[in-house]
Chain A
């Protein structure tokens, strides 16, 4: 089955400025708290750790003193052409709603993990074990996102519940739910970042700043040549950072 390309009237997107990200991890903590990811006493086995958003360390690979470092937060890329959705045998992950957020429907998920194998961004995680909340910590579960049991795959939802709330608010105020103001719906990570490194909005709405940022000459997308058409863009004025957006071979001849 080939992946289908989906386009919508609105397209929620994220533009992450890597020249502003210090790698502090506040976005990761905010994401866990907002989306009810259980804490883990030992998180050093990264293959077993559940994370919707991971901050990776990038280096230019040069020795001191020419060394440079950058940090890259990686949420689900919300691809326009989803490698994950096309392989799901139970239609547990779809891209069918205005906004273009790739859904993950936990009750449908049978835990086959085909989607994890298909995702080129390693943005999907499997619940190997039931989440364990230390006594008392289960009291601070946020009310908007259900806690997932073992046996299902999870991923970043662009804090979809916040989109629903913003739409509800617009409905009550008798406004067009597809014409939300810039900043009316933002993800928990974008809201938490003290450096303002994460911009969020409708990529197709000229009134939202992300629409212009995505067109910046410094903008790039991860593994863009795979044709996944992600809705997450990155910005950097540093050539070496942009070059790492695609894992080209050192001697590879590139087109364009």
Chain B
């Protein structure tokens, strides 16, 4: 019997039936579905043991607490640390901190500019030699700009410059600087501290307390605790400012203020409170009360746009509270001047000042370093306005070419400086103009410190920890200390400086390195002055008529001047904020109507020094005759996640000296808008 046709069909049929009832087809189908989605270019998940390390964010201005998750020793996620005194969640920037360690904008190796103007990668030995050569050639004519205002690196920079005969150490402008200046004018010894935890009513004037002002993650944790879900809030919160921003969105009420009129609003409140019999134990209270007589509600209405009734209601709310706290600041954390903060501090004193603290400034731990007070008193914007041309400029985590008012002037100043070096983790606009760029480790890659960031209510000290060894970065402080070779009593390494700082505070350094935090109570302020003459002179300068006022808005999701927009944060930009490369500026419908503009119109917005182009977005959450401009766009360096997105709002900033305090400010900026 042969294998005939019938037998073949029987065999084929049997085999088919057998395969059909076996798991084979399903297994093959399963494999096909898995392997058709498993390509070599799809990244695989890392493997390894999961561990956690506690630290404090050096990158996020809120200095929030972090719990870093590591897989196989590699950081993969930044999580919040609710037990941290400044923690309790994450900012949109801190949430992306681990990913920023691998950002395409990172400087991966030391770079030197060659004769053709291009950057060439070099080794560290060559880089340190070039640094030494450039700085030695400049002699004592060296200036330094630091973007780090809370670290002991300031001591090293100060001592390093001092040892070479220079005292030109400047900070990038910030609210902290203005506040510390106001505080010391009043007679405070360090910086103002705010005990938000015990306050039962917060009035934020211009200060975007839930987004970018002070220790904003702590602020938000306190806000959250005071607002049980779906119930009446336990603490009052009112926001006054030109834009219905993130803080205003959840405040009990938003008081619209003309841009730059925060000072007048605060003085108007103080005038009502003194009329109702409130006083402060200040030697100049009598003249302060006399000065306030000039700020009647009608005048305040004319200058701020706040109706007399709203002003009265706000004053009544402050009076009703047991422990009210008034926080003043500028929406973009810079340029608001010292007078409005001074006025808010005076108003707090009228209200009893029970939530104010006097937080001592960090004392120098290096003999050659000057005090923080001296550094804070220097005004970088005023210095740049003098068109200085130092022989050498050190940029330490600072990006003045992007962040200073009139950035083009800063770029010109940089170009005119014979030798400039940038210690930076990212290839930002300023680094791109330097002769030497030295890659800095980020906060999660280095040992560094954070002392009492502005806004906190206690003495605070913490260390950022190294969670990842990065091959080709070196801490700028270690480089400068090595360069000093012990001259001027400088130690050999930055770790020694941090250990000295811990010892000076009485903190356990090894516990700090393990992620713990040092806190100490700060005293209530002593007898303070109210300085009515200064306030009056500053207020008088606010009378100028502005046709269209600039109202900058900062969102921490768009990063800092140093980081640019973190890759993971690009998706947080709403569709009406940015379309391709074009960003939106926003005005309300009345402003648009009066200027013949409609939503979607392309416009040119011009300030005194520069101009930007954008599209019009109609947003009713802004005062009339004001134009809201988002900060954080318009980068020309960094990476594809930051470049070619909108325009830089600082192009429109014009700095002027503040009457009374002499500090520069840029919060009352007249701009013109033209349809193109």
Contact = CB atoms under 8 A, between A and B. Distances in A.
A192 B89 contact: yes
A29 interface: yes
B592 to A, nearest CB: 11
Interface string B73-104: 01111111000000011111011101101111
A93 to B, nearest CB: 15
Given A33-B99, A67-B621, A107-B33, A194 B230 contact: no
Given A43-B573, A44-B575, A143 B45 contact: yes
Interface string A209-238: 100010011110000000000000001010
Interface string B455-494: 0000000000000000000000000000000000000000
A136 B211 contact: no
Contact of B45 (A107, A146, A152, A237): A146
Interface in B113-140: none
B578 A44 contact: yes
A134 interface: yes
Interface residues of A, number: 78
B29 to A, nearest CB: 10
A22 interface: yes
B274 interface: no
Nearest to B216: A194
A22 B569 contact: no
Contacts of A140: 74-77, 98-99, 101-102
Interface in A178-219: 191-197, 199, 209, 213, 216-219
Interface string A124-141: 000000110111111111
A144 B69 CA distance: 12
Contacts of B92: 24-26, 28-29
Contact of B224 (A20, A57, A107, A143): A20
B269 interface: no
Nearest to A213: B229
Contacts of A96: none
Given A24-B557, A194-B90, A107 B37 contact: yes
A39 B230 contact: no
A194 B620 contact: no
Contacts of A67: 244, 588, 620-621
B230 A135 contact: no
Given A146-B45, A197-B224, 6 more contacts: A21-B250, A22-B250, A33-B98, A39-B641, A139-B74, A139-B102
A217 B231 CA distance: 10
Given A19-B250, A63-B589, A194-B221, A29 B37 contact: no
A42 B570 CA distance: 7
B6 interface: no
Contact of B91 (A136, A137, A194, A237): A194
A8 to B, nearest CB: 24
B76 A22 contact: no
Contact of B588 (A39, A63, A145, A235): A63
Contacts of B38: 149
Contacts of A145: 45
B261 interface: no
B575 A69 contact: no
A111 to B, nearest CB: 10
Contacts of A26: 89-92, 94-95, 557
Interface string A12-53: 000101011111111011101110100111111010010100
A123 to B, nearest CB: 15
Contacts of B42: 130-131, 147-149
B568 A39 contact: yes
Given A24-B92, A24-B556, A131-B42, A44 B579 contact: yes
B50 interface: yes
Contacts of A108: 33
Contacts of B79: 191-192
A143 B227 contact: no
A134 B45 contact: no
Contacts of A143: 45-48, 50, 71, 76
5 contacts: A33-B95, A40-B570, A41-B567, A137-B99, A142-B76
Interface string B530-572: 0000000000000000000000000111000000001111111
Contacts of B94: 26
Contacts of A15: 229
Contacts of B77: 33-34, 140, 142
B318 interface: no
A133 B42 CA distance: 9
B590 interface: yes
Nearest to B578: A44
B640 interface: yes
B3 interface: no
Contact of B620 (A25, A59, A199, A209): A59
A195 B224 contact: yes
A62 interface: yes
A19 B579 CA distance: 29
A22 B247 contact: yes
B622 A64 contact: yes
A71 interface: yes
A245 to B, nearest CB: 14
B529 interface: no
Contacts of A197: 224
Contacts of B250: 19-22, 195
Contacts of B570: 39-43
B588 A64 contact: yes
B102 A136 contact: yes
A114 interface: no
A148 to B, nearest CB: 7
B624 to A, nearest CB: 7
B640 A41 contact: yes
A145 B78 CA distance: 16
A197 to B, nearest CB: 8
B224 A194 contact: yes
Nearest to A210: B229
A49 B574 CA distance: 11
Contacts of A237: 230, 232
Contact of A141 (B76, B78, B588): B76
B246 interface: yes
A163 interface: no
Interface string A56-81: 01010011110111110000000000
